[in-house]
Structure formats: structure tokens, C-alpha cells
Chain A
Amino acid sequence: MKRESGHLDAETLGAYIDGELHGPARRAAADHLRVCSVCRETASALGAPGSAARQVQAPEWNVEALVARVEAGISALEAEGEAVNDAVAAGRRRTVERAGVARWTGSAGREGSAGREGLAGREGSAGLGDLAGRAARWVKSRRRSALGFAAAAVILLVSLVGAAGYVYRREMIAQDRVLVDSHYIIRSGNAGALLVSYPGR
């Protein structure tokens, strides 16, 4: 891509020095650069900031301190995860439970395959055993809490139905009484007794 002046534009020159021009475009640029000192100069000026930037020496980093920070952060993350699982085991919150299930099925699924491939056995396998044990314990505790939950639900349902039946029956009886009573009251011509007998109704 040449400008009106007959020189290559900066973007093309930049792409050329970056090795991002291919095929005929690259050959054309190379041909032009061979004969044009103005473009050669522009190209080297374009490359100058980059090569200067590469010479800026980076600071000395304390990588071990960073490793420690990252490890502490991960421990905090994991502790958070375990707190979630504990809440699940206690069967307190269903939403948390769902997140926990996803977490565990995700890691347990991988665990098997990675374990068989025997990554870097040593420490890894201890971690895996521990993980598997925790998963098993969690499933067990979850089963227990699910049973408890189901029993509680059944009891609640039965008592609700019973209570509803009782209330309904009482209401029916009361209504009957009102009908019967009002029949006699009306017949006896003492309509005011309705208000006295049933002030709330």
C-alpha cells in the first residue's frame, strides 16, 4: 500500500517489520525498501520504540513471596468451598446444596481419570484419597439429611391435612348451627338475636 507520495504508509511498514506482511505484499514492500532510503528510515524509526522498550530492565521480583500469597489465597478459596459443603451437610439451604453438588460431581469425575493417569503420584494421590474420602462422607451425610428432610415433610403434610380437615369440619358444624339457629330466631321474629348470638359473623 503506497501513499500518494510513492512511499509505503506507516501501517504497512509496521506490519513489514513485525513479519505480518505475506506473499506479494511482502515482496512489494521489500522491493520498495531496497531502493527507498526514506522508507528504510521510517521503518527503523517505527521499530525503535519497541527495541527500546525491550531494553527497559524489569525489577527483581520476589517470586517466593508471591507464591506464598497465592497459596494463602487458594487456601482461603478452598475454606470457603468447604464452608459451603458444611452448610449442605446440615441441609440448611437448598441453593447452596445445588452449588455443592456441581462442585463435587465436577471434581470427583476428573479425579478418577487424573488418578489413573497417575500424574505425579506422590503428594497428588494423598490429596486424591483425601478428596475421595471427603466426597464419600459428604454423600453419606447428605443421604442422612435427605431422609430427615423427607420425614419432616411427611409429618408436616399429614399434620397440615389433619389441621385443614379439623378446621373444615368445625366450620361446617358452625355454619349448620348458624343456619339452624337463625332459622329459629327468624321464625321467632327476634331478628336482633342474630347480632347478639353471632357478633363476629
Chain B
Amino acid sequence: MAGSDWACTSDEDLARGAASGSQDAYSELVRRHSKKLLNLAWRMTGSQEAALDAVQEAWLSGWKGIRSFRGEAEFYSWMRRILVNGINNEFRKRSRRAALVSLDRSMDSEESGEPLQVEDEGADPQDIVGRAETAREIGQAVVRLPDMYRVVFLLRETELMSYSEIADVLGIAEGTVKSRLNMARRMLRETLSEEVGSARFA
């Protein structure tokens, strides 16, 4: 069924439809929410391929558990929680596997050669170059952050979630969210001031 047929159906109704077995209703949910989920997964993993796999997995878990969606939260938040938990589990597995491998190396292999793309529209070319440069550097610096800091940082800064929402999704205390976020910001600031410094004043 074409996506437009569902245009006037709310997420909640679609989820109800999916719960009673309508795969078309579910496909419409996938169509509606995948872009944001993919962006988040891509920021978390630093790789397009890993993001696609993670989001696909999340949608399949979502289908299996669709009956537990009661519509108390927005459907996107419900899916986001599934996605974040899935990626976090992958991180945990990976860090157990690669306990002895240096962080830099594991990150390099994770990136799979896909450079982060950078905004290339705007008015002032000088400004664009400067912003694009910073954005590219920050993107790479974020990917290099240790998992637990990166996840908190992204949920706050790109998903604009509150501390309590983050704490809830990750199953950690709000104080922990606060301190990890602070740590992430400090590390990013240090990385950036080093890189920008060496690039501009060398």
C-alpha cells in the first residue's frame, strides 16, 4: 500500500494496526520515523552501514514487541529507546571483545572509511569553510569519544532530551548523566582546541 494512503492516520492508530497484524501499518511507521532514527544511529556508530543495520534490527524488535506499545509515550520515543538500547548492547559486546585493543584502532575499523558529510550550503563562503571545518572536526571528535560519554552527549545535544529522559532510557542516575555529559564536553573541548589550534596557528 502506498504511503500516502496512511497520511491521516496517527502513529498511535498505526501502532494499533500493527499490533493486530497489519504489516502495512507498520511499514508506514518505518517510513515516517526511519530518517531520525538513522541520523541518531549514524551519530552513535559513526558508520552508515552500522546505522542501517542497527535501525533495521530496532524495527524488527519493535515489530516483535509492538503489543507492548501502549501509546503513553510518543511512538518515536518508544522506538528510539529500542534503538539506543540495541546499539548500547553492541557497544558493550564490542568493548568486551576489544578490551585490549586501543580505542583509536577500534574506532577506525568502525568508521569503515565513510567520512562524515558536512553541511555545504550557506551565504558566506568564508563562514561556511570555518563552520564546515569545525563541524567535520566535531563529528570526528564525537565518534572518538568513549561510548558511554558519546551516547549521553548525543542524546542531549542532537536529540535534545532532558537529563531525566536520558537517565530513563539508559537506566542510569540523573547525576551520572550530568557527570558524563560534563566529561564529554570537556573532552570535546580539549580535542577541538588542540586540533583547531594546530590547524590555524601552525
Contacts and interface: CB of A to CB of B under 8 A. Distances in A.
A87 interface: no
A128 interface: yes
Given A20-B163, A58-B38, A69 B56 contact: yes
A73 B60 contact: yes
Interface string A176-188: 0000000000000
A123 interface: yes
B56 A49 contact: no
Contacts of A171: none
Interface stretch (A11-19, A29-37, A89-97, A162-170): A11-19
Given A59-B48, A119-B20, A10 B178 contact: no
A61 B38 contact: yes
A67 B1 contact: no
A185 to B, nearest CB: 76
A120 B13 contact: yes
A26 to B, nearest CB: 14
Contacts of B63: 70, 74, 77
B96 interface: no
Interface string A40-84: 000001101111111111110101101101110111011000000
A11 B176 CA distance: 11
Contacts of A49: 138, 141-142, 153, 157, 184-185, 188-189, 192
Contact of B189 (A19, A45, A123): A45
A107 B27 contact: no
Interface stretch (B29-37, B83-91, B104-112): B29-37
B124 to A, nearest CB: 14
B200 to A, nearest CB: 15
B54 to A, nearest CB: 11
Majority-rule SS of B interface residues: helix
Interface stretch (A108-116, A137-145, A150-158, A189-197): A108-116
A124 interface: yes
Contact of A66 (B34, B153, B162): B34
B175 to A, nearest CB: 9
Nearest to A62: B52
A11 B185 CA distance: 10
B34 A67 contact: yes
Given A14-B182, A46-B185, A63-B35, A58 B117 contact: yes
Contacts, number: 173
Interface string B95-134: 0000000000000000000001111100000000001001
A45 to B, nearest CB: 6
A71 B27 contact: yes
Contact of A67 (B31, B117, B156, B182): B31
A199 interface: no
Given A119-B9, A119-B17, 15 more contacts: A18-B162, A53-B139, A53-B157, A56-B138, A56-B139, A58-B43, A58-B117, A59-B48, A67-B30, A70-B60, A71-B23, A73-B56, A114-B19, A119-B13, A127-B20
9 nearest A-B pairs in the assembled complex, by CB-CB distance: A50-B157, A52-B138, A49-B188, A114-B20, A57-B119, A56-B139, A58-B39, A55-B135, A70-B59
Interface of A: 10-11, 14-15, 18-20, 45-46, 48-59, 61, 63-64, 66-67, 69-71, 73-75, 77-78, 106-107, 110-111, 114-115, 117, 119-120, 122-124, 127-128, 131
Interface of B: 1, 5-6, 9, 13-14, 16-17, 19-27, 30-31, 34-35, 38-39, 42-43, 48, 52, 55-56, 59-60, 63-64, 67, 116-120, 131, 134-139, 141-142, 153-154, 156-158, 162-163, 178-179, 181-182, 184-186, 188-189, 192
